[in-house]
Amino acid sequence: MSQLGMAKGSVTEIKAGVYRLRVDAGVDPVTGRRRQISKVIHGGKREANSALRHLINEVESGVVTNAKQTVNELMGEWLEFKRGTLSPKSIELYSYCMQRYILPALGTRKLTSLTPHDLDKFYGALTKKGVSAYGVRQVHATLRAALSQGVKWQKVTTNVAFSATPPQIPKKASRSITPEQFASIIAKANKDCDASLVRFFMLAALTGARRGEILGLRLEDLDTQNSRLRIARSVISVNGKATVKSTKTGQQRTIALDRICIDALLAQREEVKAQADKGLFTQDENPYLFAADPTGAKCIHPDWPSHVFRKVCDSISLPYHLHELRHFSATQLIAAGVDLRTVSGRLGHADPAITMRIYAHVVEAKDRNAADILGKIIKDVSAPTEPRSS
């Protein structure tokens, strides 16, 4: 039995290398009952005693306020708290990770008994069940976010997820659509697809905008006089339904357009109008340029262009997804010498460092080319000259 200050605590060895800590937290002012904090520690006797002293200090400082609250209770409170600030897509993802993985395995665990070792075993079990490294890291991110809020609410003093070790996501070999492959994709799409989808693919490649950002374009976003396009919103899939939200960074941006883009957008605007006129519909005052109905009031579901693009690529034996048109835009601009800040602005990255990280392989290739150019210049100017003949 150990005692520090007013709080009393004990260490009990449950089995080899596993200890249960208990600390008397005094009388609950609401229920009038005595409270007891318990926690399980993995390690040696010295680590257990050190953890006990730490737990006693927490109790005496008044930080640990509810020793019986479970992971289930915290996560439910946290998700409800975040509904007003997170995007619907983020809420959907967090909710899925909770219901599918976290709560069945850890929901009944007390927050104060949860350890990094518990989380590492949990992640290992998910991996054995076939959950991808990316999926496990999504689960880890959900736990980490909820526990961080638990620290702010003083339900726990430390976020054990920060000390856990989720699996690393294997780096995929970078791949990019070549100009020749893009030409083949567009040629095939012209034969097999509706003209509006061909325009969509062209815009994705020429602007570098995200799928949902193009689908979110409305008539007011097109400035033909100044050849510019405002990207102000995005269309995402939430519970299978198309939902309009802000852009990924929450910021609007305006990008310059070339003649091909302008012509494609003008043609798309006329097609939306023609569809309304043909069916004698009253067109929306500010229609979506890629509309799901003749009035222009509804946007297309984001899965549709992705499905068609993949089908086109499969038909000509190319392994690409729609998002790789965005990569095509970025890699071609960087390879052509456009500075990273400009490329980052067009892509809508929150920081040019993100662009640098994603497209480091392209920057590295340009750096190699720069070294070769400088080497050739120095070689040319330092080459010995032929002696003059007398």
Region 244-269 average pLDDT: 91
Closest CA to 329 of 255, 234, 246: 255
- DSSP annotation of 102: I
Which of 94-108, 323-337, 361-375 is least confident? 361-375
* Same CATH fold assignment for domains 71-163 and 179-363: no
DSSP state string for 300-350 = PPTHHHHHHHHHHHHHTT----TTHHHHHHHHHHHHTT--HHHHHHHHT-S
As a whole number, mean pLDDT of residues 327-347 equals: 90
Distances in Å between the alpha carbon of 196 and those of 215, 290, 328? 11, 7, 20
CB 273 within 8 A of CB 285: no
Query: In this structure, are residues 200 and 185 in contact, taking their beta carbons and an 8 Å threshold?
Result: no
3-state class (DSSP) for residue 208: coil
Residue 67 has pLDDT above 70, yes or no: no
The residue ranges of every structural domain in the chain are 2-61, 71-163, 179-363
Q: Which residue has the higher pLDDT, 127 or 380?
A: 127
**Cα–chain-centroid distance for residue 300?**
22
Element of type H or E holding 40: strand 34-42
CATH superfamily entry for domain 71-163: Tyrosine recombinase, N-terminal domain (1.10.150.130)
Q: Are strands 18-27 and 7-15 parallel, antiparallel or unpaired?
A: antiparallel
Query: Which residues on adjacent β-strands are paired with residue 19?
Result: 13, 41
Structure confidence by residue, pLDDT tens digits, 228-253: 999 999 999 988 889 999 898 889 99
Evaluated on CA atoms 115, 121, 126, 127, the torsion sign reads positive
Lowest model confidence (mean pLDDT) among 276-280, 283-287, 375-379 = 375-379
Q: What's the burial of 92, exposed, middle or buried (CB within 10 Å: 0-12/13-18/19+)?
A: middle
Tokens representing 8?
A: 């009393």
Instruction: Kindly report the backbone phi and psi dihedral angles of residue 343, in degrees, each rounded to the nearest multiple of 5, phi listed first.
Output: -60, -45
**From the centroid of its chain, how far is CA 190?**
33
DSSP 288: B
The four Cα atoms 254, 260, 262, 263 give a dihedral, to 10 degrees, of -160
Which of 86, 94, 13 is closest to 46 using CA atoms?
A: 13
Q: Superfamily assignment of 179-363 in CATH?
A: Intergrase catalytic core (1.10.443.10)
pLDDT band at 383 (very low <50, low <70, confident <90, very high): low
Q: How much is the pLDDT for 17? A: 85
Top-confidence residue, 106 or 240 = 106
Among residues 67, 13, 3, 62, which one has the least CA distance to residue 37? 67
Burial environment of residue 93 by CB neighbours within 10 A (0 to 12, 13 to 18, 19 or more): middle
Q: What is the pLDDT averaged over residues 260-264?
A: 92
pLDDT in tens, 296-322: 899 999 999 999 999 999 999 999 999
Rounded Cα–Cα distance for residues 245 and 215 (Å): 11
Of all helices (H) and strands (E), which one includes residue 267? helix 259-278
The rounded distance, in Å, linking the Cα atoms of 173 and 356 is 16
